Amino acid sequence: MTRQSDESLWWKGAVIYQIYPRSYQDTNGDGVGDLPGITQRLDYIASLGVDGIWISPFFTSPMRDFGYDVANYCDVDPLFGDLQAFDALLEKAHGLGLKVIIDQVYAHTSDDHAWFQDSRQSRSGEYSDWYVWKDPKPDGTPPTNWQSVFGGPGWTWDARRQQYYMHNFLSSQPQLNLHNPAVQEALLRVARFWLDRGVDGFRLDAINFSMFDPEFRDNPARKSNGVVTRPFDLQLHVHNQSHPDIPKFLERLRALMDEYGAIFSVAEVAGPRPLEEMRAFTAGKSRLSSAYNFDFLYARDLTLARVRKAQEAWMGAPGEGWPSWAFSNHDAPRCVSRWAKGADRHRFAKLTNTLLLCLRGNPILYQGEELGLSQADIPFERLQDPEAIANWPLTLGRDGARTPMPWQSKANALGFSTAEPWLPFGADHAADAVDAQAEDDSSVLNFTRQMIRLRHEMPALKTGSLRFRDTADPLLSFERLYKGQTVRCVFNLGVEDISLPSEETDGVQKVLTSSGYDYTPAGVLPGHAFFIAEIS
């Protein structure tokens, strides 16, 4: 098939809206969101101006890790609906001009998956080598020192096989043996199943955990720099993940996707060498479209140095992949709560959303981020996330970022459900509900809509190159350039007012948008204020 040019690819510079299906909209009164709920809210999503949606897992699952423990890759869990509900969602989304991206979890399955149930029965069955099995050491201890992300050894004893099986996450998430060609073929059949249904892309969960060192060498120690919540953090993860053969599998996946046209693929990459792996996963035209890591997702602050370091790794060198960016998602505390540090949250949310939309790459906007939603404080007795429960109170706070969408400020369960939601709302979420913000021209919601529209109207913001200007923290200034169009983006990342150098207003032809700042050729840029301007 003839490849499209880079500039004509729908996903190049597209704004992606992430949906956590448990928490978007409940339609059957069980307190948990579902696929018909997403379908019901697609008009709202389209009104944001985004190009597509990424839906976190909705596949058959025992939900020990809320869908990231898949028991059947090719079906919908009854909690969320069925395949017909997904098809209806897909049809309506496409009718509204929205692309649909779904998660694919290729590093592990649920221990409820039929493949694992067969694999654990004997060492000689059809699926015996589809997972990672290993005999114990002579003293009965696990084969290696590998630790799991959620705490404890990365191995669990199974009496049926008289062997240990490997897991990088929960013990109920056994590691697939992606070194096995039969496993790769099975996963490619899964991808084809969803491509045949009409999906437009895949987000590949924890893909750098999908292959391990077949020599089973111990991981080296890592010096702790502070309080340790997990033994996992005391190792350099060079053998339990990040095997150099992963890109070869990604090439097979890309070849399959290319049969279906401009399919978008984005890898989640966490670990000791994210940049190196992101480059390998997206290099050239035969691997993935894009990748993102945790440059911003776990960051405790937003600084000039952090932005420059992240973006300067993706400036468009020959053969370089295309980056994606996320400030918040279902795995990380919401950025406004991490970074605002007591400042005006709504004003700060306008800044973070605008910055995300001005970076070179694909912005991934997490549900509620368009509202400036805060991180909810979840009491221990209401926690659902196994990581949060295991590491309380030193937790990543995933439950607080997964709370339901607030739709109606005065409705029961804020319009999310007719029942008690599976997680409670934050104390300030009613005031930030969609209906309240929709009526306020100065709201975070309406400002974000305007900013998304501006990004689409200005090719420089969508796909242009980027160059940083010489400024000192907390003043961040850069320009986006495309075919003679130059857009300057100037942000005060600090709380205090700063004197704006005259160089930042030189050449301004038109201020396209601003927040907290009445443009003057020279003057003061208040804390967390910014402006976006076209330069002559």
* pLDDT tens digits, one per residue of 387-396: 888 888 877 7
The pairing of strands 72-76 and 59-60 is antiparallel
What pLDDT does residue 229 have? 78
Please indicate whether residue 103 is annotated as part of the active site. Answer: no
Beta bridge partners of 164: 134, 157
**CATH architecture for segment(s) 6-107+179-452:** Alpha-Beta Barrel (3.20)
Looking at CATH, the fold of the domain delimited by 109-177 is given as: Oligo-1,6-glucosidase; domain 2 (3.90.400)
- Of the pLDDT bands very low, low, confident and very high (cuts 50, 70, 90), residue 3 is very low
Q: For residue 390, what is the enclosing H or E element?
A: helix 386-391
The pairing of strands 99-105 and 201-205 is parallel
What pLDDT does residue 226 have? 78
Model confidence at 1: pLDDT above 50: no
Give CA angle at 195 (193, 198), nearest 5°. Answer: 115
Catalytic choice (43, 245, 259, 301): 259
Domains 6-107+179-452 and 109-177 share a fold: no
**13 CB-near residues (< 8 Å, 6+ apart):** 361, 362, 455, 462, 463
Mean pLDDT of the chain: 95
Give residue limits of the domains in the chain. 6-107+179-452, 109-177, 464-535
Catalytic choice (205, 399, 479, 504): 205
Compute how many other C-beta atoms are within 10 angstroms of the C-beta atom of residue 488: 25
pLDDT in tens, 15-48: 999 999 999 999 999 999 999 999 999 999 999 9
Q: For residue 52, what is the enclosing H or E element?
A: strand 52-55
**4 CB-near residues (< 8 Å, 6+ apart):** 262
- Of the pLDDT bands very low, low, confident and very high (cuts 50, 70, 90), residue 7 is low
Please indicate whether residue 205 is annotated as part of the active site. Answer: yes
If we measure between CA atoms, which residue out of 21, 119, 43, 26 comes closest to residue 415?
26
pTM above 0.75, yes or no: yes
**CATH architecture for segment(s) 464-535:** Sandwich (2.60)
